[in-house]
């Protein structure tokens, strides 16, 4: 197992209240569905990943990969109860998924507010959003 030290990158993951260490689940965390995880993974790039060993509930230590996206992260808890058959590997348990970070409440910033705050705004088709809870910002261009 290998480990990436992401502490130097922690600032960009300000939507987390606690990044944690090699044996910790970042916070806040809530268990989510596989569909919620894939919905983000299929449309956004992973900015950073981290492999950890974490005790989930009271069970044995599990292998967990943390995938950090722009404004959310996910923990994928790998299944580890497997049986090797003659022609395939079969897992007895299922992967579990946790959504990590702020439950964002975004509001759009107007051009004047952006200008007053020194935030670059590119014009009418530009949309700049900011979370009321954690301050995370995201932006997109609706012209293309």
List interacting residues with Zn ion (CB under 5 A): 102, 104, 131, 133-134, 136
Q: Name beta bridge partners: 137.
A: 130
Closest approach, Cβ 64 to Zn ion, in A, equals 23
**What is the C-alpha radius of gyration for the chain, rounded to an integer number of angstroms?**
19
Closest approach, Cβ 36 to Zn ion, in A, equals 17
Closest approach, Cβ 91 to Zn ion, in A, equals 34
Question: Smaller CB distance to Zn ion: residue 10 or 125?
Answer: 10
* Whether the Cβ atoms of residue 39 and residue 13 lie closer than 8 Å to each other: no
Question: Smaller CB distance to Zn ion: residue 11 or 92?
Answer: 11
Please choose, from the candidates 70, 87, 80, the residue with its C-alpha nearest in 3D space to the C-alpha of residue 134: 70
């Amino acid at each position: 197992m290998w480990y990436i030290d992401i502490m130097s990158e922690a600032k960009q993951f300000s939507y987390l209240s606690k990044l944690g260490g090699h044996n910790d689940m970042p916070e806040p965390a809530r268990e989510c569905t596989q569909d919620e995880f894939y919905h983000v993974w299929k449309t956004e790039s992973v900015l950073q990943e981290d492999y950890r060993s974490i005790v989930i509930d009271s069970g044995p230590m599990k292998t967990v990969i943390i995938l950090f996206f722009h404004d959310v992260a996910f923990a994928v808890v790998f299944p580890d109860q497997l049986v090797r058959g003659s022609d395939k590997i079969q897992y007895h348990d299922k992967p579990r998924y946790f959504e990590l970070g702020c439950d964002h409440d975004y509001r759009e910033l107007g051009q004047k507010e952006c200008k007053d705050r020194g935030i670059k705004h590119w014009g009418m088709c530009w949309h700049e959003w900011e979370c009321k809870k954690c301050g995370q910002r995201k932006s997109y261009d609706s012209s293309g």
